[in-house]
Amino acid sequence: MRSFVTLVFSLIRLLLAAVKGALGPPTCAACDARVRDHVVFCPTCAATIEPPPDPEDASASDPRLEATVAFGAFGGALAIALRRLKYQDRPDLAAPLGHLARRAARVGGLVADLVVPVPLHPRRLVERGYNQAALIAAEVAVELDAPLLARALVRLRNTPQQAHLDREARRGNVARAFRARDPRAIAGRRVVLVDDVATTGATLAACADALLAAGAASVTAIVVARA
Protein backbone atom coordinates (compact mmCIF):
# COMPACT_ATOMS: atom_id res chain seq x y z
CA MET A 1 0.00 0.00 0.00
CA ARG A 2 2.78 2.38 0.94
CA SER A 3 4.60 1.74 -2.34
CA PHE A 4 1.33 2.36 -4.22
CA VAL A 5 0.92 5.73 -2.52
CA THR A 6 4.57 6.51 -3.32
CA LEU A 7 3.94 5.59 -6.94
CA VAL A 8 0.90 7.86 -7.14
CA PHE A 9 2.90 10.76 -5.68
CA SER A 10 5.70 10.02 -8.14
CA LEU A 11 3.26 10.17 -11.04
CA ILE A 12 1.88 13.48 -9.80
CA ARG A 13 5.41 14.85 -9.49
CA LEU A 14 6.25 13.68 -13.00
CA LEU A 15 3.11 15.31 -14.32
CA LEU A 16 3.89 18.60 -12.55
CA ALA A 17 7.45 18.50 -13.92
CA ALA A 18 6.09 17.93 -17.42
CA VAL A 19 3.65 20.84 -17.06
CA LYS A 20 6.40 23.09 -15.67
CA GLY A 21 8.69 22.07 -18.53
CA ALA A 22 5.99 22.76 -21.10
CA LEU A 23 4.81 26.08 -19.70
CA GLY A 24 7.91 27.65 -18.19
CA PRO A 25 10.51 29.52 -20.23
CA PRO A 26 13.28 27.24 -21.56
CA THR A 27 16.27 27.08 -19.23
CA CYS A 28 19.79 25.62 -19.43
CA ALA A 29 19.84 21.93 -18.39
CA ALA A 30 22.94 22.50 -16.24
CA CYS A 31 22.56 25.97 -14.65
CA ASP A 32 18.92 27.06 -15.25
CA ALA A 33 19.93 30.24 -17.12
CA ARG A 34 17.34 31.32 -19.68
CA VAL A 35 18.01 29.94 -23.16
CA ARG A 36 16.36 30.25 -26.56
CA ASP A 37 13.70 27.72 -27.55
CA HIS A 38 15.02 24.24 -28.42
CA VAL A 39 18.45 25.00 -26.95
CA VAL A 40 19.71 22.60 -24.26
CA PHE A 41 22.64 24.56 -22.76
CA CYS A 42 23.46 28.26 -22.31
CA PRO A 43 26.60 29.41 -24.21
CA THR A 44 28.82 29.21 -21.09
CA CYS A 45 27.76 25.61 -20.36
CA ALA A 46 27.77 24.62 -24.05
CA ALA A 47 31.47 25.60 -24.21
CA THR A 48 32.25 22.76 -21.73
CA ILE A 49 30.71 20.00 -23.90
CA GLU A 50 33.24 17.62 -25.49
CA PRO A 51 32.73 14.88 -28.07
CA PRO A 52 32.67 11.30 -26.73
CA PRO A 53 36.01 9.50 -26.34
CA ASP A 54 37.12 7.30 -29.23
CA PRO A 55 34.95 4.15 -29.39
CA GLU A 56 38.09 2.11 -30.07
CA ASP A 57 39.02 2.57 -26.41
CA ALA A 58 38.90 -0.81 -24.69
CA SER A 59 36.42 0.37 -22.06
CA ALA A 60 33.81 1.21 -24.68
CA SER A 61 34.06 -1.76 -27.03
CA ASP A 62 32.42 -5.01 -26.01
CA PRO A 63 31.88 -8.00 -28.32
CA ARG A 64 28.24 -8.25 -27.18
CA LEU A 65 27.47 -4.75 -28.46
CA GLU A 66 27.45 -3.68 -32.12
CA ALA A 67 28.48 -0.23 -30.92
CA THR A 68 28.06 2.20 -28.06
CA VAL A 69 26.90 5.51 -29.48
CA ALA A 70 27.19 8.59 -27.27
CA PHE A 71 26.33 12.25 -27.65
CA GLY A 72 29.30 13.54 -25.66
CA ALA A 73 32.00 12.92 -23.08
CA PHE A 74 30.95 12.67 -19.44
CA GLY A 75 32.18 15.95 -18.03
CA GLY A 76 31.42 19.66 -17.77
CA ALA A 77 27.83 20.78 -18.10
CA LEU A 78 26.75 17.44 -19.56
CA ALA A 79 27.78 15.63 -16.34
CA ILE A 80 26.08 18.30 -14.22
CA ALA A 81 22.83 17.98 -16.19
CA LEU A 82 22.90 14.17 -16.03
CA ARG A 83 23.50 14.23 -12.25
CA ARG A 84 20.60 16.65 -11.79
CA LEU A 85 18.35 14.34 -13.83
CA LYS A 86 19.35 11.31 -11.81
CA TYR A 87 19.90 12.50 -8.25
CA GLN A 88 18.21 15.88 -7.87
CA ASP A 89 14.65 15.01 -8.75
CA ARG A 90 14.67 16.68 -12.16
CA PRO A 91 12.74 14.34 -14.50
CA ASP A 92 11.97 17.42 -16.62
CA LEU A 93 15.61 17.29 -17.82
CA ALA A 94 14.93 13.96 -19.59
CA ALA A 95 13.40 15.89 -22.50
CA PRO A 96 16.41 18.12 -23.31
CA LEU A 97 18.91 15.33 -22.58
CA GLY A 98 16.78 12.91 -24.61
CA HIS A 99 16.98 15.47 -27.41
CA LEU A 100 20.79 15.06 -27.35
CA ALA A 101 20.41 11.26 -27.45
CA ARG A 102 18.09 11.65 -30.44
CA ARG A 103 20.73 13.71 -32.19
CA ALA A 104 23.38 11.03 -31.50
CA ALA A 105 21.03 8.30 -32.79
CA ARG A 106 20.48 10.31 -35.98
CA VAL A 107 24.17 11.01 -36.54
CA GLY A 108 25.05 7.39 -35.72
CA GLY A 109 22.48 6.12 -38.24
CA LEU A 110 20.93 3.74 -35.68
CA VAL A 111 18.22 1.31 -36.75
CA ALA A 112 15.96 -0.48 -34.27
CA ASP A 113 13.07 -2.92 -34.14
CA LEU A 114 12.82 -2.30 -30.42
CA VAL A 115 14.09 0.32 -27.95
CA VAL A 116 14.86 -0.92 -24.41
CA PRO A 117 16.09 1.09 -21.40
CA VAL A 118 18.49 -0.19 -18.74
CA PRO A 119 16.08 -0.91 -15.87
CA LEU A 120 16.33 0.22 -12.26
CA HIS A 121 15.73 -2.21 -9.44
CA PRO A 122 12.07 -1.80 -8.36
CA ARG A 123 13.12 -0.53 -4.94
CA ARG A 124 15.24 2.23 -6.43
CA LEU A 125 12.48 3.05 -8.90
CA VAL A 126 10.14 3.66 -5.95
CA GLU A 127 12.76 5.82 -4.20
CA ARG A 128 13.53 7.94 -7.26
CA GLY A 129 10.04 7.93 -8.71
CA TYR A 130 11.23 7.53 -12.30
CA ASN A 131 13.79 5.65 -14.38
CA GLN A 132 15.88 8.30 -16.13
CA ALA A 133 17.03 5.76 -18.75
CA ALA A 134 13.41 4.95 -19.65
CA LEU A 135 12.56 8.65 -20.04
CA ILE A 136 15.52 9.11 -22.41
CA ALA A 137 14.63 5.85 -24.22
CA ALA A 138 11.16 7.23 -24.94
CA GLU A 139 12.80 10.10 -26.86
CA VAL A 140 15.10 7.70 -28.74
CA ALA A 141 12.12 5.51 -29.69
CA VAL A 142 10.39 8.52 -31.26
CA GLU A 143 13.55 9.37 -33.22
CA LEU A 144 13.97 5.78 -34.49
CA ASP A 145 10.24 5.28 -35.05
CA ALA A 146 10.46 2.00 -33.12
CA PRO A 147 8.39 0.66 -30.23
CA LEU A 148 9.62 1.32 -26.69
CA LEU A 149 9.56 -1.74 -24.46
CA ALA A 150 10.25 -0.06 -21.12
CA ARG A 151 9.86 -3.24 -19.06
CA ALA A 152 11.71 -5.62 -21.39
CA LEU A 153 14.47 -6.23 -18.84
CA VAL A 154 14.19 -6.93 -15.13
CA ARG A 155 16.92 -5.98 -12.67
CA LEU A 156 17.22 -9.00 -10.43
CA ARG A 157 19.48 -7.56 -7.76
CA ASN A 158 19.60 -4.13 -6.23
CA THR A 159 23.27 -3.68 -7.04
CA PRO A 160 25.31 -1.15 -5.03
CA GLN A 161 25.82 2.23 -6.68
CA GLN A 162 28.33 1.73 -9.48
CA ALA A 163 29.88 5.13 -8.81
CA HIS A 164 31.65 3.83 -5.69
CA LEU A 165 33.25 0.82 -7.37
CA ASP A 166 36.37 0.27 -9.49
CA ARG A 167 36.19 -1.41 -12.89
CA GLU A 168 36.57 -5.06 -11.79
CA ALA A 169 34.13 -4.60 -8.97
CA ARG A 170 31.63 -3.06 -11.40
CA ARG A 171 31.73 -6.05 -13.72
CA GLY A 172 31.17 -8.48 -10.85
CA ASN A 173 28.53 -6.17 -9.46
CA VAL A 174 26.26 -6.29 -12.51
CA ALA A 175 27.06 -9.70 -14.06
CA ARG A 176 23.84 -11.69 -14.37
CA ALA A 177 21.93 -8.86 -12.72
CA PHE A 178 19.41 -8.65 -15.59
CA ARG A 179 16.88 -10.96 -17.20
CA ALA A 180 14.46 -10.54 -20.13
CA ARG A 181 10.88 -10.53 -18.90
CA ASP A 182 9.43 -12.06 -22.08
CA PRO A 183 11.98 -13.51 -24.57
CA ARG A 184 9.27 -13.77 -27.27
CA ALA A 185 9.11 -9.95 -27.40
CA ILE A 186 12.86 -9.75 -28.03
CA ALA A 187 13.72 -12.78 -30.18
CA GLY A 188 14.89 -11.82 -33.68
CA ARG A 189 14.73 -8.06 -32.96
CA ARG A 190 17.48 -5.50 -33.48
CA VAL A 191 17.51 -3.87 -30.07
CA VAL A 192 18.73 -0.37 -29.25
CA LEU A 193 19.62 -0.32 -25.54
CA VAL A 194 19.46 3.07 -23.80
CA ASP A 195 21.14 4.41 -20.66
CA ASP A 196 21.99 7.87 -19.41
CA VAL A 197 25.74 7.30 -18.89
CA ALA A 198 28.29 4.60 -19.76
CA THR A 199 31.37 4.44 -17.55
CA THR A 200 33.05 1.05 -17.94
CA GLY A 201 30.22 -0.32 -20.08
CA ALA A 202 29.70 -3.17 -17.58
CA THR A 203 25.99 -2.44 -17.13
CA LEU A 204 25.38 -2.20 -20.88
CA ALA A 205 27.28 -5.47 -21.45
CA ALA A 206 25.26 -7.25 -18.76
CA CYS A 207 22.00 -6.01 -20.32
CA ALA A 208 23.22 -7.07 -23.78
CA ASP A 209 23.92 -10.53 -22.34
CA ALA A 210 20.32 -10.84 -21.17
CA LEU A 211 18.93 -9.54 -24.49
CA LEU A 212 21.11 -11.88 -26.59
CA ALA A 213 20.18 -14.79 -24.30
CA ALA A 214 16.54 -13.97 -25.09
CA GLY A 215 17.34 -14.21 -28.82
CA ALA A 216 17.89 -10.57 -29.83
CA ALA A 217 19.34 -10.34 -33.37
CA SER A 218 21.71 -7.57 -32.27
CA VAL A 219 22.17 -5.02 -29.51
CA THR A 220 23.43 -1.47 -30.08
CA ALA A 221 23.81 0.81 -27.07
CA ILE A 222 23.19 4.54 -26.94
CA VAL A 223 23.95 6.85 -24.03
CA VAL A 224 23.91 10.59 -23.55
CA ALA A 225 27.47 10.60 -22.21
CA ARG A 226 30.38 8.22 -22.12
CA ALA A 227 33.26 8.45 -19.65
- The residue ranges that bind Zn ion (CB under 5 A) are 28, 30-31, 33, 42, 45
C-beta of 73: minimal distance to Zn ion in Å? 17
Question: 112 near 222, Cβ under 8 Å?
Answer: no
In whole angstroms, the minimum distance from the beta carbon of 45 to Zn ion comes to 3
Please state the closest distance from residue 86 (CB atom) to Zn ion, in A.
18
Least Å from the CB of residue 9 to Zn ion: 30
Of 95 and 144, nearer to Zn ion (C-beta) is 95
CB of 27 to Zn ion, least distance (A): 8
> Which one, 84 or 226, has the nearer CB to Zn ion?
84
Strands 218-226 and 153-155: unpaired
Give the CB-side neighbour count of residue 137, counting CA atoms within 13 A: 26
Tell me how far, at minimum, the Cβ of 47 lies from Zn ion, in Å. 10
Which one, 28 or 115, has the nearer CB to Zn ion? 28
Closest to Zn ion by CB, 80 or 137: 80
C-beta of 49 vs 118, nearer to Zn ion: 49
Specify the residue, 19 or 33, whose C-beta has the smaller distance to Zn ion: 33
